[in-house]
Amino acid sequence: EVQLVQSGAELKKPGQPLKISCRASGYTFTNFWIGWVRQMPGSGLEWMGVIYPGDSETRYSPSFQGQVTISADKSIDTAYLQWDSLEASDTAIYYCARPHLGHFARIDFWGRGSLVTVSS
């Protein structure tokens, strides 16, 4: 059974760094793209970016390029999403998502979400 287990909720201040995680199990981590979807309060879904753990190729949606960094550690089957300096507008739920092979418009598996709250 495929599972994506995300790190817990975070409360941070503006300007602080943050790295959240998603541990995958139930499949070969290096054979599938994995990424992050943002859902701001009361809003819809947005692809942020994906990584292919097999060779660390990374792709970002234009809106998020340069704003966040996606990485993966294939030794522990874990993907990460990190910010160098958070802003209040980063307050959102972040879902770890595994698309179907290379079809990013078909997300077969989702994590339960990590709530990030940025407030002074």
Partner 1 sequence: QSALTQPPSASGSPGQSVTISCTGTSSDVGGYDYVSWYQQHPGKPPKLIIYEVNTRPSGVPERFSGSRSGNTFFLTVSGLQPDDEADYYCNSYADSDNLGVFGGGTKLTVL
Q: Please list, residue by residue across 44-69, b when 16 or more beta carbons sit within 10 angstroms of its beta carbon and e when fewer do.
A: eeebbbbbbbeeeeeebbeebeeebb
Exactly one of 44, 55, 66, 89 binds partner 1 (CB under 8 A); that residue is 44
Q: Does 100 bind partner 1 (CB under 8 A)?
A: yes
Nearer to partner 1, 50 or 92 (CB): 50
Return the number of the residue (23 or 59) whose C-beta is nearest partner 1: 59
Does residue 94 belong to the site contacting partner 1 (CB under 8 A)? no
Residue nearer to partner 1 on the CB measure, 13 or 57? 57
| Binding of residue 46 to partner 1 (CB under 8 A) | yes
Beta carbon nearer to partner 1, 4 or 118: 4
Which of 34, 111, 116, 118 forms a contact with partner 1 (CB under 8 A)? Answer: 111
Pairing of strands 92-100, 57-60: unpaired
Q: How far is the CB of 41 from partner 1 (least distance, A)?
A: 12
Burial annotation 73-96 (CB, 10 A radius, 16+ → b, else e): eeeebbbbbebeebeeebbbbbbb
Is 85 within 8 Å of 17 (Cβ atoms)?
yes
